[in-house]
Chains A and B, each alone.
Chain A
Amino acid sequence: MTAATAPAPASERTLATPSGFASDVLALTTRSIRALLREPESFIPALAIPLFFFVVQIGALGKIAGPAFGIKNYAAFQLPVAVLFASANTAGGNSLVLDIDGGYWDKLSLTPVRRPAMVIGTLLGEMFSVVSYSVLLTLLGLAMGVRYAGGELGGALGLLALTVLFGVGFASVSVAVALATGSVRATQTTFVIFFPLLFLTPGTLPRSLMQGWFKAAVSVNPITYVLEAGRAFIQETGVAFNVATVSKGFIAALAFCALTFSLTALAFRRRARMG
């Protein structure tokens, strides 16, 4: 629709027409992804750090994992950790808080854009990062002889779906902090919540070998179940590929997302009110 087809004369109205929610989201997601691709300096460390841990863990424990933990392939056991680590390592709310801090958020807010599209566009950009990291690491796993369960493709796609869900949920935390505080520093330090969430898990050894408070803490952490479901999608990790394990993982990831999305929605309302 253009001004020419509108009932009022051109001088009585502007060229603005309702753009549609999907169109807003598409335009903003395109921008997010373009920004990510233009900043490999933020993209590469996010992948390099999990890779480093992956290699170091395998080097340290790979040989004893068989006799000590009963795990045949420790690389397979560690791969989902690396994938989840990487997916939690996205820029998250960083680009958003820079927009807020720099005034671009205001500029976008002045257009008739649907408000939620501004946040969704950012999250979809993050999803793009998560998918890229996951695909790269999955391929790396394949090259290292890791085999996926449920027919190679099924397991790989299952792991990808789970990772995307978790990654977007995790990105949403820093998006919430960005919206609530508008502070670059606060948003960047959101990363610290990652430590309890990802280290209080069966990251190094299976839960069956844990004891005491550590086991209790690990068992209440939803990420534990996400990680175990991730392992279920891979062969020789000591975690069986069955409906119970996989669905627990997806339920935990969904619950995690529900929580972080709610926080984001609250923070978003607050920002909209503050202007």
Chain B
Amino acid sequence: MATAIQATKLVRRFEEVEAVRGVSLEVEEGEIFGFLGPNGAGKSTTVRMLTTLLEPTSGTGSVLGHDVVQEAATVRGLIGVALQEAGLDPKQTGRELLTLQARLYGLRGAVLAEQIHEVTELVGLSDAIDRRIKGYSGGMKRRLDLASALLHRPRVLFLDEPTTGLDPTSRTLIWDRVRELRQRYQTTVFLTTQYLEEADQLADQVAIIDRGQIVRQGTPAALKAEVGADVIDVAVDDRECGAARVTILEMQERGELPAGELRGTASGYTLFVPDGPSNVAVLLRGLDRAGITTGPISVSRPTLDDVFLAATGGRMASRAAEESSPDGGDQRRDRDSDGDRPGATTGAGTGAGTGAGTGTGRGSA
């Protein structure tokens, strides 16, 4: 397997701000690479450099061995890109936009017609393709953008937050298409996302970026194994949350439960301990003895959000809110939190809300 994408110490400065601070990474051909990080971490800037839109301040990048600055034209012919804000001309119809795009890639005649047909079918836009883009929904625009990135059958596909703001159906469709592309054409996919679940679902390799630097890199499984604990989520009634917290801490002190981090969530607590399945029974008995009624309980493996937390000391989803949120020691509820864990439940779209409440509970165990 050859190297599809390589970045060596990429740096990009915008006046005072260093948006990307020495990013190095390597993506093998045929791989789906998840580039994960909160808003403003430097994901898009990295993508813009690797896709020839932005010159790096220093460092180098290459796609299939071609330098993104020196051989920008060659690189452009090899890659397909769907940027975060699907910049589409609203005055054209979908077909007109695809035709223009295809012509700029040098497609002609029968090949052009076939490709437009193929990509339109692929993203499920056949019915709307002759309508003006002005009338498209957000999800349709995103799908059209994806279609246009595939016209010339790129060998490396860059998708910058392809599903941010999409409804679950559109999101699932895009995930399926990404998998299909890899299977059909061995397309390498470089995918940025702030959804942990997305990286978990799709990516073979993941790099986590925070404040312009890569903080962890590896397979999702390996990264999660690094955290080294299971995750027990237990829901407790609002009025009993203080008592539950005291009970759990006491159990840990007495050695009934192993030491491990305890964090507040929107609906109760999250406990990080080894051997979750047997400890969940101990925990339940303890809470029961203390007369505390518990709601739904789940045991799960750590998520990438937990990896992110371990690497940076802050939750991915709460990064933006972190500075402003009050440190409310015992007050475990956070307004913004929905407390879902993507690893524990099946729900799509949980990534964004995951553990947003940790700002308050972290460090309390």
Contacts and interface: CB of A to CB of B under 8 A. Distances in A.
Interface of A: 1-3, 11, 13-20, 23-24, 27-28, 30-31, 34-35, 38-39, 99, 102-113, 273-275
Contacts of B73: 112
Contact of B115 (A15, A31, A113): A15
B92 A31 contact: yes
Contacts of B154: 14
Interface stretch (B76-84, B164-172, B225-233): B76-84
B341 interface: no
A184 B324 CA distance: 33
Chain A contact residues, majority secondary structure: helix
Nearest to A99: B89
A263 to B, nearest CB: 23
5 contacts: A14-B77, A19-B104, A35-B92, A107-B88, A111-B76
Nearest to B151: A15
B87 A106 contact: yes
B53 interface: yes
A273 B57 CA distance: 11
A28 B100 CA distance: 7
B105 A13 contact: no
Contacts of A273: 55
A112 B87 contact: no
Contacts of B285: none
B104 A112 contact: yes
B177 interface: no
A93 to B, nearest CB: 15
B53 A109 contact: yes
A15 B83 contact: no
Chain B contact residues, majority secondary structure: loop
A106 B53 contact: yes
A34 B87 contact: no
A104 B91 CA distance: 12
B103 A27 contact: yes
Contacts, number: 110
Interface in B167-207: 185-186
B155 interface: yes
Interface string B209-252: 00000000000000000000000000000000000000000000
Given A14-B153, A34-B91, A275-B48, 11 more contacts: A14-B78, A15-B105, A15-B115, A15-B152, A17-B105, A30-B100, A35-B89, A106-B83, A107-B88, A112-B104, A275-B54
A210 B76 CA distance: 58
A111 B104 contact: yes
Contacts of A109: 52-53
Contacts of A24: 103-104
B46 to A, nearest CB: 13
B60 interface: no
B39 interface: no
B103 A112 contact: no
Contacts of A18: 106
B300 interface: no
Nearest to A17: B106
Contacts of B62: none
B77 A102 contact: no
Contacts of A28: 100
B71 to A, nearest CB: 11
B83 A16 contact: no
A15 B96 contact: no
A274 B49 CA distance: 11
Contacts of B92: 31, 34-35
B87 A16 contact: no
A104 B55 contact: no
B51 A110 contact: yes
Contacts of A23: 103, 106
A104 B185 CA distance: 27
Sorted from nearest, which 10 A-B pairs have the closest CB atoms?
Answer: A103-B87, A275-B54, A19-B106, A17-B106, A16-B77, A111-B104, A104-B87, A16-B152, A27-B103, A16-B105
A63 B90 CA distance: 49
Interface in B120-175: 145, 148, 151-155
A31 B104 contact: no
B96 A102 contact: no
Given A104-B87, A110-B76, A112-B76, A19 B103 contact: yes
Contacts of A103: 83, 85-88
B113 interface: no
B105 A111 contact: yes
Contacts of A34: 91-92, 96
Contacts of B115: 15
A153 to B, nearest CB: 35
Contacts of A104: 87-89
B186 A112 contact: no
Contacts of B78: 13-14, 16
A27 B54 CA distance: 25
Contacts of B87: 99, 102-107
B67 to A, nearest CB: 16
B107 interface: yes
Contacts of B24: none
